[in-house]
Amino acid sequence: MAPELPDSKGGSRPFVETSAPEAIGGPATGSPRLLPRQESQWTEPGFLRVLRQEGRDREGRLLAAGTAVLGHPSEPEVFCEDTPARRKEFLDLDCAWSEPARQGIWFPKPAALPAELNARFDELRSFKRTYLAAIEENLASSRGRPFPFVRVPKWFHALPYEWEPKVKRVEPCAGLTDGFFEIARRQSGARPDLNWPAEWVAQFKELNAVKVYCLSGFASEAHVVAAFVTRFHFQRQGMPEALPLDQAWFAALEDAYNRWMAAQANGRPNFTFFAIGTGGAPAGPMENVTAGGHWAVLAWPGPDGRWTSPELEKFPRRLSLRDFLERLLPETQEQRLCRVKECVDGLLIEGGNVTVERVKRETGYRRSAVRDAFFQLQKGACDLYRLWRKDDELAIRKAAKGEPVRIASASFGRRFVRRHFLGIIGVAVGSALGLLAGWLATQLGLTGYVGFMLGLLIAYAGSCAQNEMNRRADMQKEWG
C-alpha cells in the first residue's frame, strides 16, 4: 500500500510509489503505448493511489478503503481498481478515463496558448479573409469570359470565326468546411477517437474554409473548390502547431469534395478546379495536382506579402485557360492594376522606355495582362499617361499637356486586317469562284447551288486557316 503524505491544506494525499513506471507500464526500458510525454509525471501524486475510504469506481462498483486505484490527477473522483487489465486500458486511454480529461491532455485551453501562436493564428485569419474574398471576386468576374475547357472539344477548331463558349453563370453551391473537418481531424496527430473540444472546433473553422462554386456554360459545367487550409498538428501534453499543407491534408480536401459529389444527383461536372490557399509553402512536393479529373492551383504568401504559385507553370498555356487559372490566385484585377501602376511610376522615375516587356520582367505578369493594364491606366488617368509604340512594342509615358490619345484600343485597324486577312481573301476568292462556277453551271445546264456551295467552302476554309494562325500567333506573342 502506498503511503500518504500531508498536503498544503493540512489533509493528506496519496503518494505514487517509486516503482510506478514499472508497475503500470511494464519495465522502464520498454516502450508501452501512449505513455505520458515525460516519465517524471509517473512520480507525481494522482495516477496510482490508495483509497482512504470506500468509494464507487467509474463503473459503479463499490471498492473498499485501502484499494489501489488508477485515475488521472485532474479527476480524482473517476478511478478504477488497479489490475493488469485495467493498467493496459489506462495506458491505451492516455492515462485518463474520461473524455474531458483526455481532451485536456491533447488540447490546451485557449488562454494557455503562447503569444507567438496566437499571433500566428491572427495572421492566418487575415490570410484566409484576403484569399477567399479575392477568389470570390475573381470568380464573379468570370461571367461572360471564355469557359475553362481543359479538354478542348473537337468541334472547337472547326469554327470559322474567333469564338469560344462563355461562362453564363457563377453560383456558390455548397460549403464543405464541416465535411473537411471530419476527415482532416484524423490527420491532426490527436487521437482519432477523441472528440475535439468546442473551442478547438471553432478555432479550426476560423482558420479553414471550403466552398464549392459552379460555373455553367454552353452545355458544360465546371466546379471550383475554393479552400483556405491551415494544417493543425497536436501532440500529447504539448502545444499545437500550425504547419504547412502536406499531401495528407490535400487528400482530405479531395475526399471531402468526392464524398459531397457522391451524394449529388446531377453527376460530376466536366472538370473540377481546386483553388487552395495556405499560410506558407507546402511541406514538400505535392502529388496529384494535375490529376485526370481535376487541377489544383496552390497559393501562399511570400516574404514580401505577395501571393505566389509556382505550380501555375505546370498547366497548359492556352490563353483563355491560363486567364481563368490566374483568376484562381488571390489577386483581383484592381490589385493587379495597382501593382502595374506602381511599377510604371517607379520605372518612369528611373528613366528609359517603359515597355510591356520591361514591366513584364518587373512584375512577372503575362504580356497581355500588362498591355490591358496599360490601356486601363491611360483610360482612367488620361491626363497622366499616354501609350505609344517603341519599335512596334507598346510602351507608356507621362502625357504632355494637350497631347492627344493616339492609341486608344488594342484592336486598332492594322491589327484587325492582320488577324482577318486570310478570312477576307477567302471570302473574296470564294465569292469570285462561286460566281464563276455558277456561270459555268448555268452554261452546262446544272443547278446554280453548285457555285454557291463552292464559294462557301472556300470562304470557310480560309476562315478556319486564319483562326488557327491567329491562335498560334497569340501564343507566340504571349510566351515567345
H/E stretch holding 68: strand 68-70
- What percent of the chain is predicted at pLDDT more than 70? 72
Radius of gyration of the chain (CA): 35
DSSP 8-class letter at 34? T
Q: Which three cell numbers stand for residue 455?
A: 464559294
CA angle 174, 180, 182 (to 5 degrees): 125
Whole-number mean pLDDT of the chain? 80
Pairing of strands 12-14, 4-6: antiparallel
Q: Which of 53-62, 84-93, 279-288, 418-427 has the lowest mean pLDDT?
A: 418-427
Q: What are phi and psi of 376, to 5 degrees?
A: -70, -35
Phi, psi angles (nearest 5°) of residue 459: -65, -40
Q: pLDDT at position 450, please?
A: 59
Pairs from 9-14 (Cβ < 8 Å, separation ≥ 24): 12/52, 13/45, 13/49, 14/45, 14/46, 14/48, 14/49, 14/50, 14/52
Q: Which residues pair with 174 in a beta bridge?
A: 212
pLDDT tens for 431-479 read: 665 666 666 666 655 555 655 666 666 666 766 776 666 666 666 666 5
Half-sphere exposure (Cβ direction) of 137: Cα atoms closer than 13 Å: 13
Closest by CA to 90, choosing from 105, 70, 76, 107, is 70
Residue 38 has what pLDDT?
43
Give the largest Cα separation in the chain, rounded. Answer: 128
Confidence label for 319 from pLDDT (cuts 50, 70 and 90): confident
Kindly write down the DSSP assignment for every residue of 169-192, as one continuous string. EEEEEEE-HHHHHHHHGGGSSS-T
- Give the 3-state secondary structure of 365-433: CCHHHHHHHHHHHHHHCCCCEEEEEECCEEEEEECCCCCCCCCCCCCCHHHHHHHHHHHHHHHHHHHHH
Indicate if the pLDDT at residue 317 is higher than 60: yes
Name the residue among 224, 137, 129, 241 with its Cα closest to residue 176.
224
User: Does residue 211 have a pLDDT over 70?
Assistant: yes
Say which residue the cell 497559393 belongs to. Answer: 299
- Least confident piece of the model among 317-331, 339-353, 389-403, 414-428: 414-428
What is the DSSP code string of 94-162? TT-SSHHHHHHHHS--GGGS-HHHHHHHHHHHHHHHHHHHHHHHHHHTTTTSBP--SS--GGGGG-SSS
Give tens-digit pLDDT for 355-398: 999 999 999 888 888 999 999 999 989 889 999 988 888 999 99
d(CA 466, CA 101): 73
Q: How far is CA 205 from the centre of its chain?
A: 15
Q: Which band of pLDDT confidence, cut at 50, 70 and 90, is reported for residue 40? A: very low
| CA separation for the pair 126, 368 (Å, rounded) | 31
Predicted TM-score (pTM) of this structure = 0.77
Does the pLDDT of residue 30 top 60, yes or no?
no
46: pLDDT strictly greater than 90: no
User: For 114-166, how does the pLDDT look when each residue is reduced to its tens digit (9 = 90+)?
Assistant: 999 999 999 999 999 999 999 999 999 999 998 888 877 676 666 665 667 88
Where b means 16+ CB within 10 Å and e means fewer, 48-64 reads bbbbeeebebeeeeebe
